[in-house]
Structure 1
Amino acid sequence: MSTVRDPAPTLGGTAVTLVGSGFFAVSAAMAVFNAYMPLMLDAAGLTTAAIGVVMALDNVFGVTVQPLAGMVSDHVRSPWGRRIPFAMVMAPVSALALLLLPWGAGWGVGALVGLVVLYTVTMAGWRAPIVALMPDLVESKGRSRANGIINVMGALGSALIFATGGMLLRGFGYQGPFTVAAVLVAVAVLVLVLCVREPASYRSRRFSMAPVGGGRGERGMLARALTPPSRLGLSGPQRRSLVLILVVIFVYTIGANAVETFMTLYLTRERGVAADQVTALLLPYLAAGLLWAVPAGLLGQRFGRRPSIGVALAGAIVLFLVLVSVDEVGVLMALLPLYGALWITIVVNALPLVLEMGGRLHTGTMTAYYYLATGFGSIAGPIGFGVLRDATGSYGGMFWWAAGAFLLAGLFLTRVRHGEASPSEG
C-alpha cells in the first residue's frame, strides 16, 4: 500500500466547531467525574491517598490506552476516516459507564471502581483521536486559534455541568449530573459521525491499516504505529525541543491536576461550602476560560506560543502564592477566574507547540505524546499531593504544590527552541 499524501488543510470554522462537539462532551463528562467522584469516594470511606489513586486511574489509561489509540489512528483508514471510528466504538460504552456510576456507589466499592475502570478505559480510547481531528483540518499557523475554539467548546461543556450540577444533584442525587453527561457523550458521537467529514485521503471503502511516512506493507503495522521521536524525521535540536516541551507539560500538569482534583474537597472540608454549591462557585473560573480561550489562541498566533505559555505560567505562580493566604471564599472565587484565563492560555498554546514537531501525517502520534505528558503528570499530581495532604492535614497546601510545579515548568520552557508555527507543513 502506498504512502498517504498529506492533504491540503480545511480552514472552515464550522468544521472546527463541529469537531469541538466531541471535546464539549469529553469536558462535560470530565467535569462531572472530577467534581463528584471524589465526594462519592470520600463518602465510601476512602482515605485521601486512596481517592487520589482511584482518580488517577483515568490518567493511568491516559498514558497507555490513550496514546496507543492516537498513534494507531494515524494508520487507520475506513469509510468514516481515521479518527471518527474510535468514537463510534468507544464513546457509547463511556456513556453507559457514566450512566451506571452513581448506581455503582450502592453496589460496593469494588463495583464502583470497576465502573470507573470501564469509563476511563473507553474515554481514553477515543479522546486522542478526536483531538487529533483538529490539526487534520487546520493548517499550522491557525492551530492556536482553532485550539482556542475547541477549548471554548470544552469550557462550555464544563460550564454547563458547573451551572446545573448543583440543581441536578439536589433534584436527582448523583444520578442527575451523570445522566446528563452520558446523554451529551451520546449526542456528540452522532454529531461527529453525521456532520464531520474527514479528508478523502483518510477514507477508504473498507477498514484497513495504512503505512505512514514511507512504511512498507501492513505486516507489523501496529508495532510501527508506536512511533518514537527518532522515527519522526526530526533533527537533533528538534528532538531535544520535543522532549523538553513534553517535560514542561508533564511538570505543570502535576501542579494543575492536584488543584483540579482536590478543589472540591478543599472547598467542602476547609471552607465549609456545601457539596451542592461547589460547582456553581467554580462557574466563574470556567467562564473566564470560556471567554479567554480564543483570545489566548490569538495571542499565541501573534506573539508566539512559547512566550504566551511562559507569561501565563509566571502569572499563575504569583496567583497561587496569593491564594495560599486567602481565607474568604468570596475572595477565592474572585481570584479563580484569573487562574482560568491563565490556565487556558497555557493549554491552548501547548498542544499546537507539540503538533508542530510532527507534521500533518503524524498528528495522532504527536497528540499521543501530548497526552502521555499530561497523563503521567495527572497520575503524579493527585497521588503526590494526596500523600502530602495526609501527612500535613491541609488541602490548602495544593497552592504551594502548584506554584512549585509551574516554576519548574517555566525553567524547562526557557530551553525550548522549536514548536512555533511554520509557513508550510510537511
Structure 2
Amino acid sequence: MMHHDAPPSSSSASSAVVTPLTSAPLSTPGRMRGRTVLWVTLAVFAQESVWNFYDAQVPTQLRHYLTSAGLVGLFMGLDNVLGVFIQPWTGHLSDRHARGRRGRWPIILVGASLAAVPFALIPRAGSLPVLLACVVGFAAIANAFKGVTETLVPDYVAPGDRSKAQGFVKAGVSLTIVVSSLISLLVIDRSTTLAFAIPPLLMLVVLGLSWAFLGRHHATAVLPDPAGVPGDAGSPAAGGEIPSPWAVVKDLVRAPTGPRALLMTGVFCFAGMWSALRSLLTPYGTEVLGLSRGEAGALALPGAVAFLCAVVPLAYVSGRLGQIRAIRYGVGLFVVGLLAGVPFPTPGVTVVSMVMATVGYAVFAVNALVALWNLAPDSRALGTYTGLYTVASASGMAFGPALLGVTVDLTDWRYMFLNAAVLGAVTFAVFTLLVRRNRAGAARAGAVPADPPG
C-alpha cells in the first residue's frame, strides 16, 4: 500500500478504494500506527479487567451460599462452557458487519452496557438463585462480545504487524491482574458494592474512549479485505456469504491433518497444559517443596513478571520468524523449562523452571490467534475464527488439569513436572508437523506459506 499523503496512481484508483488509514503505516511491518494499537489494546484491557476481577472475587461470593468447593468450581467454569457455544456465533455475526459503517462496535458497546448490569448487582444478590442469575447473566453477555473485541486487532492492524500488536495487547491484559489486585486490596473490604461497580465502570469508560478514536471513523479506518471490496463484508458485493462456524468446523473435520485443524489441535493441547500447570502448581509446592500455601501460591509470580517483560520483545522477534515456527520454539522452551525442574525439586529451581516455561507460553500467547487468522481461508471470517480459537483453548483448559492430575495420581506429585513435559512434547510434535506441512504446501504451490516471515 502507498502512503496516505501520496497521490494514488491511475491503476490503483480504478481498481479499489484506498482509504486514509489503509496506508503504509498500517500495512508496512515495523511501522504500526502506535495510537491505533494503543486504543485496540485498551479496548481488550477494558473487558479483561472485568473478567479478572470476576475470577478473583466471585468464588468468595458463591461461598456465602455454597460449602462445596466442587460446586463453586462448577459455577466458575460455566463461563468457559458458555464461551464455547456463544463466541463462534457472535464472531460470525460481527464478521457480517465488520466492513460496514459501524463495524463490530455496536456488538461491543451494547454487550458491555448490558453485561455491566448483572456484574454490578452480584454483591447485592440476597439469595443463591439471584446470585446465580447475575453470574450466569454476566458470563453469557460478556462472552457474546469478548471474542469480538479481540478481533479488533486484525480489523485495524495489517497482517505483518499483528504479532507485534498482540504483544502489546497481551502486556495490557497482564496488567489487569494489577488492577484487580488493587481494587481487592483497597476497596473490597470497605465496600463490596463499590468494588464490583469499579471494573464495569472502567470497562464502559475505556471502551467508549476506544470507540471515540476508532469506531466513530470505522468506515475509513478499517482495513479493506484482500479483494479491495468496499462496503459491508456481509453484502453480496463482497464476494458471497461468509462461512458460518458450522461450515468452518465441517471443513476442519474433512481435513483433520490440514494446517487449520493441526493448529486448533495444538491450541487445545498447549492451553490445556498451561492451565494444568497453573492449577496444580500450588499443591505441588506444598506436597513436594514443603512450602506453606501462601509461599506455594507465589511460585508463579516471577514467571508473571517475566511474561510482562518479555511479551513485547517476543512479539517483534516472532514477526521475523513467522508465527507457527515461533510457537514451536516456544513450546520447546516450555518443555525444556519443565524438564529443568525435575532433577532438583527445590523452590529456587522450581522458580527458574516456571520462568522458562512462562516465557515459552508467552510466545504461544502472542502468536497462536494471529497464526489462526493468517490460516483463515476467508479474511471476512476472522471473528468466526476468533470464536473457534476460544473453543479450542477453553476445551483444553477444561480437560488439561484433569489429565495432568490423573498422571499425578498414577505416579506421584514428585513427577508432576516430568508428566507435564511429556504431555508438552505431544504439543511440540503437533507444531513440528504443522511447520512441515506449511513448508510442503508452499513448495507444492510455489508460493509464500500461510505463516509468513513477517
Give the TM-score range, shorter chain. Answer: 0.7 to 0.9
The aligned amino acid for 1:88 is: L
1:356 aligns to what? 374
Q: Distance in 2 between matches of 1:413 and 1:16?
A: 28
CA separation of 1:71/1:398 partners in 2, compared to 1, >3 Å: closer, same or farther? Answer: farther
Corresponding residue SS for 1:186 = helix
Superposition deviation, residue 101 in structure 1: 2.9
Unaligned stretches of 5+ residues in structure 1: none
Superposition deviation, residue 134 in structure 1: 0.8
* 1:219-234 to 2 correspondences below 5 Å: 225-226=244-245, 228-229=247-248
* 1:304-323 to 2 correspondences below 5 Å: 304-321=322-339
Superposition deviation, residue 161 in structure 1: 2.4
CA separation of 1:266/1:47 partners in 2, compared to 1, >3 Å: closer, same or farther? Answer: farther
2:239 aligns to what? 214
1:122 aligns to what? 141
* 1:14-413 to 2 correspondences below 5 Å: 14-38=35-59, 40-41=61-62, 44-76=65-97, 81-104=102-125, 107-108=127-128, 110-162=129-181, 164=182, 167-168=185-186, 171-172=189-190, 178-197=196-215, 198-200=218-220, 210-211=235-236, 214-215=239-240, 225-226=244-245, 228-229=247-248, 240-260=258-278, 271-273=291-293, 284-321=302-339, 336-358=354-376, 359-381=378-400, 402-413=420-431
CA separation of 1:338/1:137 partners in 2, compared to 1, >3 Å: closer, same or farther? Answer: same
Q: Distance in 2 between matches of 1:140 and 1:112?
A: 43
Per-residue Cα deviation, 1:207-255 (whole angstroms, up to 9, x for no partner):
9953585226xxxx8xx543623898x9x98981000000100111122
The aligned amino acid for 2:265 is: V
Whether the 8 Å contact between 2:91 and 2:386 is mirrored in structure 1 is yes
CA separation of 1:171/1:40 partners in 2, compared to 1, >3 Å: closer, same or farther? Answer: closer
Unaligned stretches of 5+ residues in structure 2: 1-15, 27-31, 225-230, 439-449
TM-score (norm 2): 0.74
Whether the 8 Å contact between 2:339 and 2:418 is mirrored in structure 1 is yes
CA separation of 1:281/1:74 partners in 2, compared to 1, >3 Å: closer, same or farther? Answer: same
Whether the 8 Å contact between 2:334 and 2:360 is mirrored in structure 1 is yes
Q: Distance in 2 between matches of 1:81 and 1:239?
A: 38
Corresponding residue SS for 1:76 = coil
Larger mean Cα displacement after TM superposition, 15-24 or 402-411: 402-411
The structure whose RCO (Cα within 8 Å, separation 6+) is larger is 1
CA separation of 1:38/1:243 partners in 2, compared to 1, >3 Å: closer, same or farther? Answer: same
Superposition deviation, residue 353 in structure 1: 0.7
Q: Distance in 2 between matches of 1:250 and 1:95?
A: 30
CA separation of 1:400/1:366 partners in 2, compared to 1, >3 Å: closer, same or farther? Answer: same
Whether the 8 Å contact between 2:315 and 2:363 is mirrored in structure 1 is yes
The aligned amino acid for 1:107 is: S
Per-residue Cα deviation, 1:14-56 (whole angstroms, up to 9, x for no partner):
1111011121123322322333444555675454543443232
Q: Which of the pair has more CA radius of gyration?
A: 2
2:432 aligns to what? 414
Superposition deviation, residue 152 in structure 1: 1.6
Q: Distance in 2 between matches of 1:335 and 1:43?
A: 37
The aligned amino acid for 1:73 is: S
How many pairs were matched up?
A: 404
CA separation of 1:265/1:404 partners in 2, compared to 1, >3 Å: closer, same or farther? Answer: same
The aligned amino acid for 2:112 is: A
CA separation of 1:71/1:316 partners in 2, compared to 1, >3 Å: closer, same or farther? Answer: same
CA separation of 1:239/1:213 partners in 2, compared to 1, >3 Å: closer, same or farther? Answer: farther
Whether the 8 Å contact between 2:159 and 2:374 is mirrored in structure 1 is yes
CA separation of 1:409/1:57 partners in 2, compared to 1, >3 Å: closer, same or farther? Answer: same
Corresponding residue SS for 2:258 = helix
Whether the 8 Å contact between 2:150 and 2:386 is mirrored in structure 1 is yes
CA separation of 1:336/1:44 partners in 2, compared to 1, >3 Å: closer, same or farther? Answer: farther
Whether the 8 Å contact between 2:47 and 2:146 is mirrored in structure 1 is yes
Superposition deviation, residue 320 in structure 1: 3.6
Q: Distance in 1 between matches of 2:194 and 2:419?
A: 33
Superposition deviation, residue 336 in structure 1: 4.1
Please tell me the root mean square deviation across aligned C-alpha atoms, in Å: 4.2
Superposition deviation, residue 412 in structure 1: 1.1
CA separation of 1:68/1:386 partners in 2, compared to 1, >3 Å: closer, same or farther? Answer: farther
Q: Distance in 2 between matches of 1:152 and 1:192?
A: 17
Superposition deviation, residue 124 in structure 1: 1.0
Q: Distance in 1 between matches of 2:198 and 2:285?
A: 24
CA separation of 1:77/1:252 partners in 2, compared to 1, >3 Å: closer, same or farther? Answer: closer
CA separation of 1:238/1:214 partners in 2, compared to 1, >3 Å: closer, same or farther? Answer: farther
Whether the 8 Å contact between 1:285 and 1:337 is mirrored in structure 2 is yes
Whether the 8 Å contact between 1:261 and 1:382 is mirrored in structure 2 is yes
